[in-house]
Every structure is written in structure tokens, then in C-alpha cells.
Amino acid sequence: MKYCMSATIPGKTFEEAIELAKVELKKEGFGVLTEIDVQSTLKNRIDVDFKKYKILGACNPHFAHKALLSEDKIGVFLPCNVVVEEHENGEVEVSAVDPIASMSSVENDSLGALAGEVKEKLQRFIQGLAAISQH
């Protein structure tokens, strides 16, 4: 099972892609709760050079609330992670978790429909980024 959805954003810098991702997430009702700068963290903690790579912890509070009411331990899968990374060739790619794949291990039927709704929103987010890159 594929566990993420992705789009490359040609012609945009890493920083521009992060800002675009935040704008497109907001259109789908998500806010960014956390930002993890993996490049900086690896350099500071273990002195490793790594590409530009940031993890955005995106949350749609309405869906998060519904999920928590259905399954109180579902917080281990929240927030929905979105990755912005710069490849060696300079291309920037944005990836979002597939919530159906991440929640497939939870045995709670009420979460299936909810995960499907969240996936639709994240797919529209990725499609929105792909559409921007074509302009």
C-alpha cells in the first residue's frame, strides 16, 4: 500500500514551497501545528549534512476531534505529516501522508470513513500544489 501522495513544484525555492504548502493546506481546513527542520536537527545533533527537509505537522481540528472521540489513542497518528524536501537536482517535492494507510492498523470501523474524508482533502492539497506548478 502506498503511504503518501506527492507533487513536485518546479520553479519554486524550498522556502517558497513551504509557504505554498501552508496556503494550500489552509484552503482544506488544515493549520500547521509543528515544523521540524530535519536538516538543522541532524546537523546540530549528530553533525550530519542532509538535504533541505522539513516536516510540517498539519491538523484539521474538526477531523482530529472526530477521530479522538472515536479512538482516544489515535493521537499517535496525529497530526498529518507533510514533508517538503529539496532533491539534489534542485527540485522541491511536497508529500502528504495517506491517512488510510497510516490508520489501517487501527481496528475501529468508524475511523475508515473519516480517514477517507481526510485523504480527499490531502489529495486536493497535493493536486492544488501540482496545479500551481503548471502555471
* CB proximity list for 58: less than 8 A, separation 6 or greater: 25, 30, 31, 32, 33, 79, 80, 81, 82, 96
Tell me: pLDDT of 134 over 80: no
Give the pLDDT confidence score for residue 107 in this predicted structure: 85
**Which is nearest to 5 in space by CA: 105, 130, 113, 104?**
130
Q: Render pLDDT for 12-60 as a digit per residue (tens, 0 to 9).
A: 999 999 999 999 999 999 999 999 999 999 999 999 999 999 999 999 9
The cell 494550500 sits on which residue? 24
Q: Render pLDDT for 61-104 as a digit per residue (tens, 0 to 9).
A: 999 999 999 999 999 999 999 999 999 999 999 999 999 998 88
Domain map (residue ranges) of the chain: 4-130
Task: Give the whole-angstrom CA distance, residue 91 versus residue 68.
Answer: 37
User: pTM, whole model, 2 decimals?
Assistant: 0.93
* Fold type of domain 4-130: TATA-Binding Protein (3.30.310)
